[in-house]
Amino acid sequence: MQTIEQFLESNNIRVTAMRLLIYKFLDKKQVAVTLTDIENAFEKADRTTLYRTIKTFEEKAIVHQIDDGTGTIKYALCEQGCTCEIGTDLHLHFHCNNCNETVCLTDLKIPQIKVPDGFISENVNLVVKGICDKCSGQ
């Protein structure tokens, strides 16, 4: 099994203490997190370093952005082997209207959508909103 260090290096990401900490933080989360959540978890860290780490992870398909309609972008780790490509790696997200958490439903893939000629798809985001299993008690 690959260590986090080996995983980052295999994705051409220089291993630093902060990158390891942020990766471990995201890996422990069962829900998508905001940049503010990350800042709050690492209060003594430089905001710019945190932002650059997330952007580096995003560029290398380690994390993906989720626009769940709340007005705040959230981030979650990608599945291993993900390239975040339209038509192959995109999955559903669920946003709970009660607890305000957003989770990846990686088993539910977004089908490839053919747009009319002349249109170019750059991003696809499908968010289901409702009450999560924790809040519904089921």
Annotated binding site for Zn(2+): 96, 99, 132, 135
* Tens-place pLDDT, residues 109-120: 888 788 899 999
Residue 59 and residue 55: Cα distance in Å, rounded?
Answer: 6
* Tens-place pLDDT, residues 52-111: 999 999 999 899 999 999 999 999 998 776 656 665 667 889 999 999 999 999 888 888
CB 75 within 8 A of CB 33: yes
Annotated binding site: 96, 99, 132, 135
Domains of the chain (ranges; CATH) run 4-137 (1.10.10.10)
> Which residues, 6 or more positions from 116, have their beta carbon under 8 angstroms from its beta carbon?
none
Q: pTM score > 0.75 for this model? A: yes
Q: Which residues pair with 95 in a beta bridge?
A: 102, 129
